Amino acid sequence: MSSSLKHIGVLTSGGDAPGMNAAVRAVVRCAIYHGMEVTGIHEGYTGLLEGKLESLNSRSVANIINQGGTFLKSARCREFYEPEGRARAAAQLEESGIQALVVIGGDGSFTGAVLLAREHRVSVVGIPGTIDNDIYGTDFTIGFDTAINTVQDAVDKIRDTATSHNRLFFIEVMGRDAGYIALYTGIGAGSEEILIPEQSRGMDYLLQSLERSGRKGKTSSIVIVAEGDKSGGVYELAKTVEAKMDGYQSRVTVLGHIQRGGRPTCADRVLASRLGVAAVDALRDGSSGVMVGVRNNLISLTGLEKACKERTEINAELIRVADIVSI
Amino acid sequence: MSSSLKHIGVLTSGGDAPGMNAAVRAVVRCAIYHGMEVTGIHEGYTGLLEGKLESLNSRSVANIINQGGTFLKSARCREFYEPEGRARAAAQLEESGIQALVVIGGDGSFTGAVLLAREHRVSVVGIPGTIDNDIYGTDFTIGFDTAINTVQDAVDKIRDTATSHNRLFFIEVMGRDAGYIALYTGIGAGSEEILIPEQSRGMDYLLQSLERSGRKGKTSSIVIVAEGDKSGGVYELAKTVEAKMDGYQSRVTVLGHIQRGGRPTCADRVLASRLGVAAVDALRDGSSGVMVGVRNNLISLTGLEKACKERTEINAELIRVADIVSI
Amino acid sequence: MSSSLKHIGVLTSGGDAPGMNAAVRAVVRCAIYHGMEVTGIHEGYTGLLEGKLESLNSRSVANIINQGGTFLKSARCREFYEPEGRARAAAQLEESGIQALVVIGGDGSFTGAVLLAREHRVSVVGIPGTIDNDIYGTDFTIGFDTAINTVQDAVDKIRDTATSHNRLFFIEVMGRDAGYIALYTGIGAGSEEILIPEQSRGMDYLLQSLERSGRKGKTSSIVIVAEGDKSGGVYELAKTVEAKMDGYQSRVTVLGHIQRGGRPTCADRVLASRLGVAAVDALRDGSSGVMVGVRNNLISLTGLEKACKERTEINAELIRVADIVSI
Amino acid sequence: MSSSLKHIGVLTSGGDAPGMNAAVRAVVRCAIYHGMEVTGIHEGYTGLLEGKLESLNSRSVANIINQGGTFLKSARCREFYEPEGRARAAAQLEESGIQALVVIGGDGSFTGAVLLAREHRVSVVGIPGTIDNDIYGTDFTIGFDTAINTVQDAVDKIRDTATSHNRLFFIEVMGRDAGYIALYTGIGAGSEEILIPEQSRGMDYLLQSLERSGRKGKTSSIVIVAEGDKSGGVYELAKTVEAKMDGYQSRVTVLGHIQRGGRPTCADRVLASRLGVAAVDALRDGSSGVMVGVRNNLISLTGLEKACKERTEINAELIRVADIVSI
């Protein structure tokens, strides 16, 4: 079984996340540790179609574990969403002698991988790499821990500034469908309120909460808003609140792409190293169409399709903690 | 049951850890949320004996979540290890109207708490706060995540410097009995070898590994050494290796107390907030003599005595990952 | 002369800046060093009018040198812009026995100080504290060095992310009238273009520059935009450029108030310590109506009125360097 | 004159310093800006002798401005100290068509450059790159600003930890002959005492100062010790002080090589960019045997020999400030 696997490929796909380099490094070194050949595919599925391949050895991945981004680059590829694109990809893999593929990315990337595996019997294993932490089958995704520290650091800085009375700071963080970044950083940075897509408490709730904060002697309030929140955009939200709260001034910060970058934290590097090794282990065990994750601190496999379809529920305990500690 | 609990105390004890402030804040705010009174005890058991008490409200713990150290201060108290000391402590609590105590610290602090609870029927709940991550009953202790990022950042900087040929860097990190800091940072910083107290592979193994690294083209090697390692101190170790490896120069860095400080990471603040809330919940539920922890991402109670006596095994999967990714 | 000065006051005013705490600390300790009494005035001129005074000793300013913001808080005060307000302020100072005042802030704060000194013969010395670095009479203002590192760190993170082809990042930084933050961080972060209020090169120049970057193989470009730039706001600018550059996508980040916060850098703490000592020295020498600054690495005095009126020319050498290193 | 200069070389030499990459990048881009060819020489003079040359273009130096260390690597070269070595180096330059050389390093590196220029009429310009800030002819050397922030950050973390009573922290920082790092970080981190090679106040002075701190209510004291201090090593010093101060415990941290690494600060990147451009300008103007520096915020040339021989006096004002703000 494992004896027949001699050559694997690895690519990063979709929005990049800090720690992807550490994952690639672990895939490469674990493959070499087991005597296999490894090909790095640049620019995701796009690069696969265009034949942007590079043979990697142990030294190729030296000095990248501490770098943000992904040295293999990432891209979104429309062509790959068509059957013809995947057929060409499969042909490219065969031609290059690549017997199995490790795909590091989020659920968009995994959807493509599922189809490639099903239509062309390509062995594929996924590694969850996205700052959003919204992949079913793993407690944490690669990049999430770095992203929340980046956001927290920014909010800490805003908290430092002179706390003029009656000032409201609205800070938009990433998370189109998932409120994890907002929830963790809202607790970690000690924000007064957190708005996430999974839970809509309405404008009245927000206004009452902010007024309560004012009465308790807080001179300024910070509201963390996930970009997927239903309130209609952070600028709109700030305007509405300012209009309804007499004598309050609002300030908006849109953190944007700084959340995708930065040197990966230790937890992200360790997670990425574990998952990179686990992905190669899974391929050697003959697995395909699966995603490797860490659940309850143990390596765990989940069907790639299930990982794409299922949703992780937001942790109700964390919401309660956020409510209690922000009084 | 919970209705009878009206007034709790909170203290930090032993070696301090980043995130202790976030834990105190959560204890205070959760108690106030439930209508209780809270007294902060300064300088641990010493301050309890000396009556260094301060009534805390929601505003007392504002703007501390992002601070390293502990604003209640911490201390080691010899007197408390004697029955007379604990008797005086119990009397002080009763006199002040404090019905239950939250102790934030490591196993030394918990041992005292166990005796206080047993001898004087004081309700006590422990929160694991120590950078060493060596407490049974919780996947992570408060401060560990910050400490490993501090160490990793230092090692990243050392890795940056001109990689002269045949140079060996030995970096001593904290962990007298536990190798977690060394193991995580060894993986995260991409070190060539990791020496931990739980596992002795001997000098020959180390020399062979370093020579192998040299042959593979690594121009310099980094060895992370837990202070509890059996090799006899990092300076001694560096000298021995230098003597045996012809043409190699060694450099030693002893990170020391910088590992205890620094702004807590987001993960540490969230963990501390969860455990602070959980400790008050536990007291309200009538629990005593227990430690709150997070296991498999769920709040979990462990008997304080058990938490002191049992040992967490070092994760064998992590050791294997470390070996593979450092080739 | 100096023998007659027994009691001084200190306040921070206007937009806060990292390092203000270090300046207050130096003022307090230098005054105490010379046997004087010191009163801290909370919330700037507003607090002076409202009598928010606190007697400070050497320990009052312990453990603040490393904190962002200002523990004395800052505020903008309309009342002080009226003669009646200043009369009340002077009366308050006299009543409290404060013989001289150290004002830490920007040119708005100094304008008030000039009038106070002129109308009421109050001895006043100014310390330049603002992140904008736009005060005449000092090479650097307190807070500028920290702010440029904060911005640079954010841009570094954006640079990390997957460099999709043809992507333009527009990053708005502070500086309504002054382009120093934009110019320094544009060089430091290696941006492709820098837009500052002091220099308008027009849209055609920008488009040509970005097209040239694309032709040279840069896969993405970063443009730093000072908020005072004449192009009409960063969102508007991004839209215009995107419309004119076929096949390019733009992303906007507005850094906002994170630029005012953060732990002060070493240079800012040293500068603030020097200026705090120099301000007390100046008062003891009998000076009034002056600002202390550092020019050519020497302590230097400038008339407060001149400091408010004159403008520092933007350094032409830096603009040339920016142009050359961004090719 | 400038028209005849068509091809220059650039190397980094001696101990590396953060910002060297930014300097190389500026040299390369400024040369290309003026239509010249540029060759990067790896591993300093050693690489020059061994012919480790690489032709560099504008893209070769992309994405390095934010990296610590030097991508050209650095080395110390014994052979170059002999006339034969320099003769071979000159021959290598001529053979490769390199007409002039930019040397980035400290005074050791400049001494070699002076001899090379004198003996073989090679045009040479030096750029001061060393964390020690001990080069005559420039207000700051490349790397100093980053190093002091690294040290300060470490001391801040130590300051965070529980301030047990009567604890003394001794922190050794770099600076064999120069106390700049110790002096700046001592002020910036708010240390109680600073020991530098330029000034010996003796053990009695230190003991009295520490006792005074204790009496004033400071619960712990931090002493910054430059490695060149005459007291005989930081461990020895700590032991002596502990023995003489009854009831005090001491802790030692040796920061070591972390001071050479890390992402360069904005000030270091701007300084390096300016000096890189200035070095090429100087060569185009026909200068040789000079070092470019920044004095009083202006580009300034100094004879390389003078730069090696003269010493910058330590700033007496800074010593006074340090004494005053640490009371």
- Give per-residue pLDDT as tens, A123-150: 999 999 999 999 999 999 999 999 999 9
The answer to whether B65 and B21 are in contact (CB under 8 A) is yes
Q: In angstroms, what separates the C-alpha of D78 from chain B's closest C-alpha?
A: 14
A21: DSSP letter: H
- Interface residue of B64, B270, B296, B320 to substitute, partner A, most A CBs within 10 Å: B270
Mean pLDDT, residues D235-263 taken together:
92
Q: Is D114 helix (H, G, I), strand (E, B) or coil?
A: helix
- Pseudo-torsion of CA A158, A160, A161, A165, nearest 10°? 100
* pLDDT for the residue numbered B2: 45
- Helix (H) or strand (E) holding B292, with range, is strand B290-295
Task: Grade residue A202 by pLDDT with cuts at 50, 70 and 90.
Answer: confident
- The predicted pLDDT at position B218 comes to 80
- The whole-angstrom distance between B297's CA and the closest CA on chain A is 7
Among the residue ranges A7-11, B273-277, C226-230, D138-142, the one predicted with the least confidence is: C226-230
Tell whether C40 is in a known binding site: no
Among chain A residues, the shortest Cα distance to B272 is held by: A188
Q: How confident is the model at residue D233 (pLDDT cuts 50, 70, 90)?
A: confident
Instruction: Give the closest residue to D224 by CA, choosing from D252, D203, D193, D197.
Output: D193
D269 vs C188, C276, C296: nearest CB:
C188
Domain C146-260 in CATH 3.40.50.460: yes
- The pLDDT assigned to C218 comes to 80
Q: Name the more confident of A246 and C257.
A: C257
How does pLDDT run across A253-262, given as a tens digit for each residue? 999 999 999 9
pLDDT digit string (tens) for B12-68? 999 999 999 999 999 999 999 999 999 999 999 999 999 999 999 999 999 999 999
pLDDT digits (tens, 9 = 90+) for A277-299: 999 999 999 999 999 999 999 99
pLDDT at B38: 98
Question: Read out DSSP for D246-304?
Answer: TT-EEEEEE-GGGGG-SPPPHHHHHHHHHHHHHHHHHHHTT--SEEEEEETTEEEEEEH
Where do the domains of chain B lie? 7-143+264-309, 146-260
- Quick one: pLDDT at residue B1? 44
DSSP sequence for C5-64: --EEEEEE-SS--TTHHHHHHHHHHHHHHTT-EEEEETTHHHHHHTT-EEEE-GGGGTT-
The pLDDT tens digits of the residues spanning D152-176 come to: 999 999 998 876 677 899 999 999 8
Are A258 and C157 an interchain contact pair (Cβ–Cβ within 8 Å)?
A: yes
Which residues of A are less than 8 Å from C252 in CB distance? Answer: 254, 256
Q: In CATH, what number does B7-143+264-309 get?
A: 3.40.50.450
Side chain identity at residue D188, one-letter code: G
- d(CA D189, CA C67) in angstroms, rounded, equals 11
pTM of the model: 0.96
Asked if the model's pLDDT at residue D2 lies above 60, the reply is: no
Q: In what order do the strands lie in the sheet with B53-56?
A: B53-56, B37-41, B7-12, B100-105, B123-128, B290-295, B298-303
Among the listed residues B16, B132, B145, B268, the single catalytic one is B132
Q: Which residues contact A3 (CB under 8 A, 6 or more apart)?
A: none
Element (H, E) at D85: helix D83-95
Picking from A16, A67, A161, the nearest residue to C162 by CB comes out as A16
pLDDT, residue D95, reads: 97
The pLDDT of residue C88 is 97
The dihedral through the CA atoms of B313, B317, B318, B323 has a sign that is: positive
Average pLDDT over every residue of A11-36: 97
* pLDDT at site C3: 52
Tell which residue, B315, B15, B317, has the closest CA to residue B180: B315
Out of A121-135, A307-321, D50-64, D216-230, least confident range? D216-230
Known binding residues of B for substrate are 130-132, 167, 174-176, 227, 251, 257-260
pLDDT for D97-152, tens place per residue? 999 999 999 999 999 999 999 999 999 999 999 999 999 999 999 999 999 999 99
Q: Which residues of A are annotated as a binding site?
A: 15, 25-29, 76-77, 106-109, 130-132, 159, 167, 174-176, 190-192, 216, 218-220, 227, 251, 257-260
Q: Do domains D7-143+264-309 and D146-260 have the same CATH topology?
A: yes
Residue D3: pLDDT band by 50, 70, 90 thresholds? low
Comparing alpha-carbon positions, the chain B residue that sits nearest to A156 is B66
CA D167 vs CA D103, D210, D214: distances in Å:
45, 11, 10
Average pLDDT, chain C: 93
Residues of chain C with pLDDT under 50: 1-2
**Taking CB atoms and an 8 Å cutoff, what residues of chain D touch B255?**
253
Q: Do C188 and D149 touch (CB under 8 A)?
A: no
- Chain A residues in contact with B281 by the CB 8 A cut-off are none
Give every CB contact of residue D182 below 8 A, 6+ residues apart in sequence: D173, D175, D194, D195, D196, D224, D225, D226, D229
Tokens 């206007």, residue located: C14
Query: What pLDDT score does B200 carry?
Result: 83
Confidence of residue B3 (pLDDT cuts 50, 70, 90): low
Q: Tell me the nearest-neighbour CA distance from C242 into chain D, angstroms.
A: 24
| pLDDT exceeds cutoff 80 at B220 | yes
Tell me whether residue A132 is one of the annotated catalytic residues.
yes
